Amino acid sequence: MQKYGGSVIHQQQSSDGILEIVEANGVRSMHFGTSSRQSSFLVADPERLHLTYVRSMTLGLVFCPDAKQVLMVGLGGGSLTQFLLNHYQSCAMTVLEKRRDVVKASIKYFDLSRDERMQLLIGDGGDFIHQQAFRKKTSYDLLVVDAFDHSAMADSVRGKAFFNKCKEIMSVSGIMIINLWGSQRAAFQENANYLLRVFEQRVCFLPVKGRANVIAFCFSPHYPQLSQKKVREQALFLECSYNIEMPLFLKTLIQHNPKTIKHILHKK
């Protein structure tokens, strides 16, 4: 069956909705009943991050090079999860995914590997973060939120209360990376304003070229200022290591956030 410009290799309906896996021109993608791609990877080169917005999210590595505790909300096809596992060799990672069928598909169709460093949980990411904030047992160096349904950001991973709980579970030098949807202007502005208030203006926004995605990088209030020179060097190193346009992303981030970036980077 043909759909979304490709061949449907898997389709199922559950109480969570439709899940479709479509392949076209060597690219395999996950869909939730619409043309929007929840995840994509190159069949011939699964380790390369195919979607621009996912590559944009990896810019967080220049600000958080040595994460030991990582929490991810939203699995999709698992490309970013796998990438972070490969990069952070000594990290402990917890991944929350609400849909059991998505977990099964990510393993079967997107080569997500079983790894003893990763705890993969079925459940609501918003509920989990509220529980973690209440227990106060773990502080996360890197928190990644990329949770969408078929049309928008999931309700449980947005809003002031949720962002406050995220801040509570971050380490002193921790950062949160969250994928926002910019085309729904009112909802985007509301979430952006909440992030700025909760993180005391220490938020940088990175618009993704050619996409409606806007990636927000939220820094702990006690995040230590970094050398702009060293961050640029790290971006160049990562570009060479992973074939990701890190210097371009970093340049765009600095240009779009002139007031905020001076609190994150110094010029020495």
Q: Give the other-Cβ count within 10 Å of 120's Cβ.
A: 19
Residues 104 and 13 in one domain: no
226-227/6-14 β-pairing: unpaired
92-97/118-122 β-pairing: parallel
Position 61: which residue type?
Answer: L
Domain enclosing residue 97, as ranges = 48-266
Residues 58 and 39 in one domain: no
Q: List Cα–Cα distances, 260 to 8, 203, 256, 266, in angstroms.
A: 44, 7, 9, 11
Residues 182 and 221 in one domain: yes
Q: Which residues of 148-169 are buried (b: 16+ CB within 10 A; e: fewer)?
A: bbeeebbebbbeeebbbbbbeb
Q: List Cα–Cα distances, 145 to 121, 216, 230, in angstroms.
A: 15, 10, 26
Residues 32 and 139 in one domain: no
Helix or strand or coil: residue 159? coil
CA 80 to chain centre: 7
Comparing C-alpha atoms, which of 229, 238, 225, 136 is closest to residue 173? 225
Residues 155 and 170 in one domain: yes
Q: What is residue 150's predicted lDDT score, i.e. its pLDDT?
A: 53
Residues 113 and 184 in one domain: yes
Residues 27 and 53 in one domain: no
pLDDT tens string, the chain, 268 residues long: the values are 899 999 999 999 988 889 999 999 999 999 998 888 889 999 999 889 999 999 999 999 999 999 999 999 999 999 999 999 999 989 999 999 999 999 999 999 999 988 899 999 999 999 999 999 999 888 999 999 998 765 567 777 888 999 999 999 999 999 999 999 877 788 889 999 999 999 999 999 999 988 888 999 999 989 999 999 999 999 999 999 999 999 999 999 999 999 999 989 988 7
CATH of the domain at 169: 3.40.50.150
Q: Is the dihedral of CA 120, 125, 128, 132 positive or negative?
A: positive
pTM for this entry:
0.94
Residues 26 and 54 in one domain: no
Supply φ then ψ for residue 187, to 5 degrees.
Answer: -65, -40
Q: What is residue 149's predicted lDDT score, i.e. its pLDDT?
A: 63
Supply φ then ψ for residue 86, to 5 degrees.
Answer: -70, -35
Q: Of 11, 28, 46, at which residue does a domain stop?
A: 46
Token pair, residue 130, equals 């509220």
Residues 25 and 65 in one domain: no
CA distance 92 to 119: 8
Residues 39 and 61 in one domain: no
State the total domains in the chain.
2
CA distance 185 to 224: 32
Q: Give the other-Cβ count within 10 Å of 206's Cβ.
A: 24
Q: What is residue 181's predicted lDDT score, i.e. its pLDDT?
A: 81
CA geometry: angle at 72 spanning 110 and 81, to 5°? Answer: 30
Q: List Cα–Cα distances, 163 to 28, 80, 116, 201, in angstroms.
A: 33, 21, 29, 13
Q: What is residue 151's predicted lDDT score, i.e. its pLDDT?
A: 56
Q: Is the dihedral of CA 241, 245, 251, 255 positive or negative?
A: negative
Residues 118 and 23 in one domain: no
Residues 42 and 169 in one domain: no
CA distance 180 to 166: 15
